[in-house]
Amino acid sequence: MQKRKLGNRLEVSAIGLGCMGLSFGYGPAVEKQAGIALIRAAVERGVTLFDTAEVYGPFTNEDLVGEALAPFRKDVVIATKFGFDIDPVTGQQRGLNSQPAHIKAVAEASLKRLRTDTIDLFYQHRVDPNVPIEDVAGAVKDLIRDGKVRHFGMSEAAASTIRRAHAVQPVTALQSEYSLWWRELEQEVLPTLEQLGIGLVAYSPLGKGFLTGAISADTAFDKSDFRNIVPRFSPQARRANLALVDLLGDIAGEKGVTPAQIALAWLLRQKPWIVPIPGTTKLHRLEENTMAAAVELTAGDLGDIDRALSAVTVQGARYPEHLQALVGR
């Protein structure tokens, strides 16, 4: 597996693993030993960046990741997140909370679940409008000074907020959605990251599974799958958006690869400091995703893809209103 650097400081595999779906978000959690086996299979295939968060489960995904990676701890990078107020008994989210004391308490709890002495990359999961970003960056700076965190990250933050945080504690990586069907951050965020020397960790690089071609307008999701409330995944939107998948399929067929591999290879060609973190619960999908790092797209290929995609208008918002309100601040 090729390596890349986030923020010119943190070296990771060119493709990481988003671990959320093993415990949360896309239907029932996988059986624990199956989740451990999948994570360890990723290590065997050269993946070194593993992404989790306290809110995934909540708490159970960090436990899973910590146990799975314990034998390989010195060889991998573990990223987790703070920023939500979670009832420790019920697991219910009670809103955002990036108060400095809360950030430090979350770090201590995450360290225990992850079975480690240091969090490699600690993201603010969502910007908290009630806490100045300078205070947030200052709290993480304290954790870095104390050796409990190595690098500071942000997620779904606006360019101006990133600049303010970076002035207090250098930001190593921004995690945001970025893919062939969500490119909004090309307008302001990507130029800001390039100027400041910050890496991008792209989540949902396969459009929450849609860009793989495995989802149709008639696909039924489990009742606990959050795609049920995402406007972009309504049957009507899916039916319209299949035009994008068809185009990817045509391009993939010409290259002798899969649509998912084209989508990931496209991301890798955008900037040398972009690292996608596709998630999966299936070994064959893990193998497919990691092999995308070896897919070569020429400048001509990229031009062909952009021209083809410009003819397709993706239908549906990427989040319902209550979740959309939490991004881009």
Q: What is the tens place of the pLDDT at every residue in 221-270?
A: 999 999 999 999 999 999 999 999 999 999 999 999 999 999 999 999 99
Residue 311 has pLDDT above 90, yes or no: no
Query: For position 59, what pLDDT does the model report?
Result: 97
Inter-CA distances, 182 with 72, 148, 202, 319, Å: 34, 34, 11, 11
Residue 187 has pLDDT above 90, yes or no: yes
Separation in Å, CA 205 to CA 134, 152, 279: 30, 22, 9
Active-site residue, from 26, 56, 123, 178: 56
pLDDT at 218 over 90: yes
Average pLDDT rounded to a whole number, residues 122-144: 98
- Are the CB atoms for 168 and 141 separated by under 8 Å? yes
Does residue 159 register a pLDDT over 90? yes
CB atoms within 10 A of CB 266: 24
Q: Give CA–CA dist 206/19, Å, rounded.
A: 14
d(CA 206, CA 264): 7
Query: Which candidate, 326, 206, 214, 189, places its Cα nearest to that of 267?
Result: 206
- The pLDDT, as a whole number, for residue 71 is 98
SS3 87: coil
| Token representation of residue 262 | 């084209």
Q: Which domains does the chain have, with CATH numbers?
A: 3-324 (3.20.20.100)
Could you read off the pLDDT of 90-130 as tens digits, one per residue? 999 999 999 999 999 999 999 999 999 999 999 999 999 99
Q: What digits encode the pLDDT tens for the residues 85-98? A: 999 889 999 999 99
Report pLDDT digits (tens) over 34-86. 999 999 999 999 999 999 999 999 999 999 999 999 999 999 999 999 999 99
319 is catalytic: no
- Entry pTM: 0.98
Looking at residue 37, its pLDDT comes to 98
Where does the pLDDT of residue 276 fall: very low under 50, low under 70, confident under 90, or very high at 90 and above? very high
Could you tell me the pLDDT band of residue 309, with boundaries at 50, 70 and 90?
confident
